Amino acid sequence: MSSDFFAEVRKRVGYGGPDSSDPLAYAVYQPDRLVMGKRMEDQLRIAVCLWHSFNWPGSDVFGVGTFDRPWLAPSADPKTAAQAKLDAAFEFIDKLGVPFFAFHDRDVAPEGRTYAETRANLDASVDRIEKHMARTRARLLWGTANLFSHPRYAAGAATNPDPAVFAYAAAQVKTMLEVTHRLKGANYVLWGGREGYETLLNTDLAREEAQLARFLSMVAEHKHRIGFSGALLIEPKPQEPTKHQYDYDAATVMGFLQRHDLASEYRLNLEANHATLAGHSFHHEVASAIALGGFGSIDVNRGDYQNGWDTDQFPNSVDELALAIHEIIAAGGFTSGGFNFDAKLRRQSVSRTDLFHAHIAGIDTLARALLAAVDMVEHDTLAAPRKKRYADWSNELGKAILSGSQTLADLERRVAAGEIEPLPRSGQQELLEGSVNRRIWAVDRSREPATKPAR
Ligand code: XLS
Ligand code: NI
Ligand code: NI
């Protein structure tokens, strides 16, 4: 079971510090460093994703795979290939030194000719995963079922016009929910990649919404039946592969859940690039999910602001991530969730070690952003001005309005009597932008030797 696929990386990636010249060492990420009362590893809860990192060959719409992934070769025997893939994946997770991984059923085991064969393939892989988990310290952040690759799902899974497809998807999710439970997963994810439409000409929106709601209540019901204690997470995305996906963004999903009395059963797995595709900032999606009571976990990739598709790049912007992490930390941090690297290498990154460089750089970006976010919390950089901005709602007028004791007519009377006379106030956006930057820059300075001012 032990594997030497990533032979160039001879030992576990450790902390080298910001000035280390070793690219196979972390510059910032220190798992044991205490950050706001928790180990950095427990604040970030980082997961490697098997789909993009081990099951995607580096293909694009115009070209075949470019990566060196022998288990994906068409000539490989599917069962041996599945084992080789898992062995390499756990070698990677172990050498990277992160606590979690995440996978789809189809990432670890091929579909067979019959459902029974598919199930047997999956069970064999899960046995192997279990052994790897016992051998390493890797834990499962989430499991999920691939309800989008097979042609049967071309018109959707739960929202398919054919109830037989709904039933097939139900069987697959039941199985993966049980697998996730068996592997003590912290969450179960549902990404409805094909739950949407290509054209409204053949689509009954009301019917498809009802089908999706029914599916999600069956999943929640089964979770309770088997005693799975992890969280159920829905991952919003506005489009791709469908023209329009029903789980458009955080607010849309929360509205859907509330309409169907499912809000207590589901939380959100937010993906940075999906926020970009929905025309939002990632910061917006995180803040919305928290405000609506649905925050769960994060797919921390990034998009390309010039492209309209999911480029799923590894994260590299501290400025953007610091604001999102600030919201998370200020709201108490992750519970069952974490940061998973649902990210892809670029197609030209063909060396095996590129997968390490991508993760190390991404993880250091997260660690640096975490330090900046904590610095903002500790300095009350945003909380204090926000509180001050709304302070009048704690006064007599604000309380009276919110308690329901004032009508429109009451308020008009008071305005007409000259008792109420609002004055414009500054929103202080530029001041706040500057304050945030000062905290981000202060985190950079904190490691530099003190210099004397020039005379
Ligand atoms: C695709 C999604 C997918 C989900 C899991 O865009 O991000 O990777 O995270 O099915
Ligand atoms: Ni995505
Ligand atoms: Ni994702």
Domains of the chain with CATH codes = 14-378 (3.20.20.150)
Which of 333, 274, 267 has its CA nearest to residue 301?
274
Any catalytic annotation for residue 299? no
- State if pTM tops 0.85: yes
Per-residue pLDDT, 326: 98
pLDDT range class, residue 102, cuts 50, 70, 90:
very high
pLDDT at 45 exceeding the cut of 60: yes
**Segment 305-340, tens digit of pLDDT:** 998 899 999 999 999 999 999 999 999 999 999 999
453 pLDDT exceeds 70?
A: no
- Between CA 251 and CA 247 the distance in angstroms is 9
Residue nearest to atom 1 of ligand 1 (CA): 193
Ligand 3 is an ion; its neighbours by CB within 5 Å are: 271, 299, 342
Question: Quick check: CB of 191 below 6 Å from ligand 1?
Answer: yes
Percent of the chain topping pLDDT 70: 98
Which position has the higher pLDDT, 449 or 173?
173
Q: What pLDDT digit, counting tens, does each position of 342-354 carry?
A: 999 999 999 999 9
Q: How far is CA 328 from CA 9, 290, 369, in A?
A: 33, 8, 12
Q: Please, what is the Cα angle at 443 between 326 and 315, to 5 degrees? A: 55
Is the pLDDT at 30 greater than 60? The verdict is yes
104 has catalytic annotation: yes
pLDDT of residue 254: 98
Q: Is 208 in the pocket of ligand 1 (CB under 6 A)?
A: no
Average pLDDT over the chain, rounded to whole? 96
Nearest CA to ligand 1 atom 5: 191
pLDDT number for residue 27:
97
Q: Closest ligand 1 atom to the C-alpha of 271? A: 7
**For range 282-309, the mean pLDDT:** 96
The two beta strands, 139-144 and 187-190, are parallel
Please tell me which residue in 52, 104, 274, 326 is annotated as part of the active site: 104
Average pLDDT over residues 392-417: 97
| Confidence band, pLDDT 50/70/90 cuts, at residue 446 | low
What is residue 241's predicted lDDT score, i.e. its pLDDT? 97
144 touches ligand 1 (CB under 6 Å): yes
Atom of ligand 1 nearest to the CA of 342: 8
Which of the four pLDDT bands, split at 50, 70 and 90, describes residue 443? confident
Residue 380: CB partners within 8 Å, gap ≥ 6? none
Average pLDDT score over residue span 428-448: 88
Do residues 6 and 353 touch, judged by C-beta distance below 8 A?
Answer: yes
Task: State residue 193 phi and psi, 5-degree precision.
Answer: -55, -35
Whole-number pLDDT of residue 1: 82
Indicate the burial class of 438 (C-beta count within 10 angstroms; 0-12, 13-18, 19 or more): middle
